[in-house]
Amino acid sequence: MKVLGLETSCDETGIAIYDTDKGLLTHKIYTQIAQHAEYGGVVPELASRDHVRKTLPLIDEVLAEAKLNKADLDAVAYTSGPGLVGALMAGATIGRSMAYSLGIPALGVHHMEGHLLAPMLEEKQPKMPFIALLVSGGHTQLVRVDSIGQYKLLGQSLDDAAGEAFDKAAKMIGLPYPGGPYIAKLAQTGNPDAGIKFPRPMTDRPGLDFSFSGLKTAFLTAVHDALDRDAFNDQFQADIALAFEQAIVDTLVIKCRRALEQEGLTQLIIAGGVSANKRLQSQLETQLAKIGAGVFYARPEFCTDNGAMIAYAGAQRLLAGQHSPLNLSIRARWPLAELPDINEEV
């Protein structure tokens, strides 16, 4: 079965074709980062307009690259939430219209389920059950995964997500949007002995929830202190970037290890934009090896929003006989735990 996947939840237009027999055939991603960078964040109206402009041409491109026609498609999967309403509407309308015109099934995919399953696109794959750390600009969640659709939320951010904290910290020291990659690059030249210390939030108490707002405030306080002392220079920026990145990474690693031990599992997947952070990947591999656990993650282009993860997630549910009515509503907010198990009838 050849499934066309459409991802339009935020500021990337991702289109892909997944074949349930041959695997991923092709994928394309168009990013709107340059358009939104001057505003320091995503402008929903601009995002929606760009999805309308780019989705159909990208569909034609992936079909041509895969040497397929629309008539060769067996199903369409599209992101139906969570995300920006206008952006979701663009992909959902195109996806449902294509499915209707071709007489094939359509399925609205949960954006975070797509991220959660993205590591399944790699040769090195985890076996269920496992723990998933979903970490991006909008989400920081720890989830127990027993099967596709059988999810138990173990912990989540009570305020800013990790990616959002990176973005806001980067803006405070004059770095472009999105901030995570710029903080990581700057941190490479930071001095770990510079004396900048940040807390590891909520790691000194039981539980698996996260909170990054206090860490963000501590970062701002340190920036103001450096400005007051006339010590805000290039080296200070590198040092504070390193200290901030280390604090977030350490916090995530501590909670991941705690979740694995609590649930008695030995496999962790990390997914979402922040999962591409090299320090996070390295620290998880090192620390989890101490308890006999392994970590899995997707290649960089599948860490951020992409059509391949939507095509794959949709294909798994379509194979199980699930599909969506053509009048399915998109959902800006959509708890992952509300999804049906892949073996349930819907």
Does residue 309 share a domain with residue 280? no
The yes-or-no verdict on residue 325 having pLDDT over 90 is: no
Q: Give the residue numbers of the binding site for Fe cation.
A: 111, 115, 305
Domain tally, the chain? 2
pLDDT band at 157, cuts 50/70/90? very high
- Provide the pLDDT for residue 326: 75
Amino acid at 265: L
Q: Give the residue numbers of the binding site for substrate.
A: 134-138, 167, 180, 277
Q: Give the residue numbers of the binding site.
A: 111, 115, 134-138, 167, 180, 277, 305
The whole-angstrom separation of Cα 172 and Cα 164 is 13
Does residue 104 share a domain with residue 54? yes
The predicted-structure confidence for 74-109, as pLDDT tens digits, reads as follows 999 999 999 999 999 999 999 999 999 999 999 999
The predicted-structure confidence for 184-224, as pLDDT tens digits, reads as follows 999 999 999 999 999 999 999 999 999 999 999 999 999 99
- Domain limit, last residue, from 281, 297, 313: 297
Q: How many separate helices (H) and strands (E) can be counted in the chain?
A: 10, 10
Domain that residue 28 falls in: 2-117+302-338
- Provide the pLDDT for residue 295: 97
**Residue 116 token pair:** 């959660």
Cβ atoms of 149 and 288 within 8 Å: the answer is: no
Cβ atoms of 326 and 103 within 8 Å: the answer is: no
Does residue 282 share a domain with residue 143? yes
- How high is the mean pLDDT of the chain? 95
Does residue 182 share a domain with residue 144? yes
Tell whether 113 is covered by a domain: yes
The yes-or-no verdict on residue 343 having pLDDT over 80 is: no
Nearest to 241 by CA among 164, 189, 178: 189
Tell whether 344 is covered by a domain: no
Task: Evaluate if pTM is beyond 0.75.
Answer: yes
Tell whether 26 is covered by a domain: yes
Tell whether 311 is covered by a domain: yes
Query: In sequence order, what DSSP letters do the residues of 118-170 get, joined into one string?
Result: GGGGSSS---SSEEEEEESSS-EEEEEEEETTEEEEEEEBSSS-HHHHHHHHH
Does residue 195 share a domain with residue 224? yes
The yes-or-no verdict on residue 239 having pLDDT over 90 is: yes
Does residue 151 share a domain with residue 173? yes
Question: Residue 218 in 3-state DSSP?
Answer: helix
- Provide the pLDDT for residue 41: 87
Does residue 214 share a domain with residue 75? no
Tell whether 346 is covered by a domain: no
Does residue 24 share a domain with residue 108? yes
Instruction: Supply the CATH number for residue 18's domain.
Output: 3.30.420.40
- Provide the pLDDT for residue 345: 57
